[in-house]
Amino acid sequence: MDLKRLKYFCKVVEHGSISQAARALNMAQPPLSRRIQELEEELNASLFVRNGNRIEPTDAGNFLYRRASDIFRQIENTTRETIQIANREKRLLRIGLTHLYQSYFKPLFLELYRKHPEIELRISVSDSSNLEEQLNDGLLDLALIQKPYQPECFDYIAFEPVKLVAVINKELAGCVSSDINSGTIPYLAIGELPLVLLQRSRDSGIYEMLFDNFSKGGVNPNVIMHIAQPGVIIDWLESGLKAATLLPESEVDASRLENCFVLDVFPSPQVFFPAMVKTIDMPWLQEFLGLLEQGYPFK
């Protein structure tokens, strides 16, 4: 579709008149009428009806006007952002960070800023599956997320698995068959409790791995909620939600929890795999690779 004709069409809608739109466009009325007619012929649709001295858009015309307005706004935004990037003095890095490992990767970001204050960071915090999609769409240079479920689609650097811990609202202490005061709990005993589990928005992941481990032990867990953010789960349990959860140890600060137990789990399945991920055709960011040479997590 010709953008110039689309622009002419929008002007006619906005002015309600071919003649007034022609004056605004600084062109003669007949050529403008021909451009509108060409657009209608291209779409095989009537875009205007006459109402007295004005012409008004049909339903199809209204739809086209709304979509065309969106297109022109996107063009303006793209132009403006391209100019800003071209004139930018700082280097811009577009990094994705999963909710799952916000605390785990915090020291990496702080060290990156300490060593490279000249770099501007644009950090998108979201679910791992959403960040994988943004990587594929070219919206991110790098993502710090759960190791991809389909690793053949990406390049990645995997870190050591993060230990799994159980967080249990204290009011459920009497519902647990094992001794909570020991500081540990059997994995299958957690399945006896109402559970809030992590689950990504698309594809398989941690939820399926946790559920599969329960199923292998003959337990059908009572999952009452699925939430993508560890911080939200902890907040709700601490605020009185009588439930339990399984989270990466890196995201749980037991010293700040008054109303929850934080327990080691045995046997402890490995399900939390933090990774640095990029698309296959995207180069590695040398600033991050330089930091990883020190060993991560930092000692």
Residue 279 has pLDDT above 90, yes or no: yes
**Percentage of the chain modeled with pLDDT above 70:** 98
pLDDT tens-digit series, residues 226-274: 998 999 999 999 999 999 999 999 999 999 999 999 999 999 999 999 9
pLDDT attached to residue 23 = 92
Query: Amino acid letter at 15?
Result: H
pLDDT digits (tens, 9 = 90+) for 46-100: 999 988 778 999 999 999 999 999 999 889 888 887 876 676 667 889 999 999 9
Out of 85-94, 120-129, 204-213, least confident range: 85-94
Q: What's the rounded mean pLDDT across residues 272-281?
A: 95
Q: Which pair of structure tokens corresponds to residue 40?
A: 């209608």
**Site of tokens 């999963």:** 98
Question: Tens digits of per-residue pLDDT, 196-205?
Answer: 999 887 778 8
Show the tokens assigned to 276. 């640095």
The answer to whether the beta carbons of residues 12 and 48 sit under 8 Å apart is yes
Q: What percent of the chain has pLDDT over 90?
A: 78
Q: Which pTM does this prediction carry?
A: 0.69
Mean pLDDT of the chain: 92
